[in-house]
Amino acid sequence: MACIICRNSEEATIFGNLTKCKRCGLVYFDQSSNRVNPQDLYQEGYFTGEEYLDYKHDKSIIQKNFSYRLREIVKFVKSGRLFEIGCAYGFFLELAKKQFSAAGIDITEKPTETARRELQLDAKTGDYLDLRLEDKQDVFCLWDTIERLGKPDEYLAKVNSELNPGGYVFLTTGDIGSALARVQGKKWRMIHPPTHLFYFSKDTITSLLAKNGLKVISITHPGIFRSMKQILYSLLFLGKARHNQWLKSFIDRLDIPVYINTFDIMMLVARKI
């Protein structure tokens, strides 16, 4: 598989099933021999036990994170058209529509249908690569999404083509160059292919954006809010075949927001060149 940044084909295997480009250092899951259908990965169960314990129930806590991100956006753009790739249940779009003409898309059918029905949002079901937007956008957002895309370079090229001159892209993703990721190695919590396919550092994500006509103007490492029950669920139950049902029932009651910053999640702001 040729590197999506530098097109180099020389690579090294790391952490068993991940590959690192020997030229630019991009880390990725080799999809050429491990075909993944995202439709199989991101169905309703992903939000109700396979990854999140109960994503929809944690809406108020999740929107604490989105409120911060929206405040960061309006520092650069006050109004206009905003489009979110990977909108899920529309929790960010619900906040963004108060400031922008907001719409989004996600491949998950049930969450986007719920966003349309319950929140009256313009949340489309499908793949952004197959969508043709009628109007140019002022802002694109990809929250914890770019690492999940099989062809992030093609998505960014399309984003650039549908972005107004001087428009912005805002995204979050894991930082494999962070101190925590380097210390934990293959045990870093963000390493779980095939849901995460690409593992960016500050240098590699900056290079990928630049290759697609987007200049990074800010990189920060913000913290996030999580419910206590989601944190404990991830630590104690996620990926395990057997569950202690009494303990799980107890954890389900812990709807307590907890702020965490391990400085291994990047938030990037990029501007169309």
For tokens 């104690």, name the residue: 236
Tell me the pairing of strands 101-106 and 27-29: unpaired
Q: Report yes or no: 271 and 168 within 8 Å, Cβ to Cβ.
A: yes
Given this model, what pLDDT does residue 253 score?
67
Tell me the pairing of strands 81-85 and 137-143: parallel
DSSP output for 149-213: -S-HHHHHHHHHHTEEEEEEEEEEEE-TTSHHHHHHGGG-TT--TTT--EE--HHHHHHHHHHTT
Rounded CA-CA distance 273/224 in Å is 30
Given this model, what pLDDT does residue 247 score?
58
Given this model, what pLDDT does residue 255 score?
80
Which overall architecture, per CATH, does domain 42-272 show?
A: 3-Layer(aba) Sandwich (3.40)
In the numeric block, which tokens belong to residue 82?
A: 């905003």
User: Full-prediction pTM beyond 0.85?
Assistant: yes
Positive or negative, the CA dihedral 96, 98, 100, 105 is: positive
In the numeric block, which tokens belong to residue 251?
A: 């954890």
Rounded CA-CA distance 15/39 in Å is 26
Given this model, what pLDDT does residue 244 score?
57
Query: Could you tell me the mean pLDDT of each successive run of 10 residues in the chain, 273 residues long?
Result: 93 91 96 76 79 86 97 98 98 98 96 97 98 97 97 98 98 98 94 94 98 98 90 67 57 79 98 96
Tell me the pairing of strands 11-14 and 265-272: unpaired
Given this model, what pLDDT does residue 243 score?
55
DSSP label of 57: T
Dihedral (Cα; 190, 191, 192, 196), 10-degree rounding: 70
Rounded CA-CA distance 194/29 in Å is 7
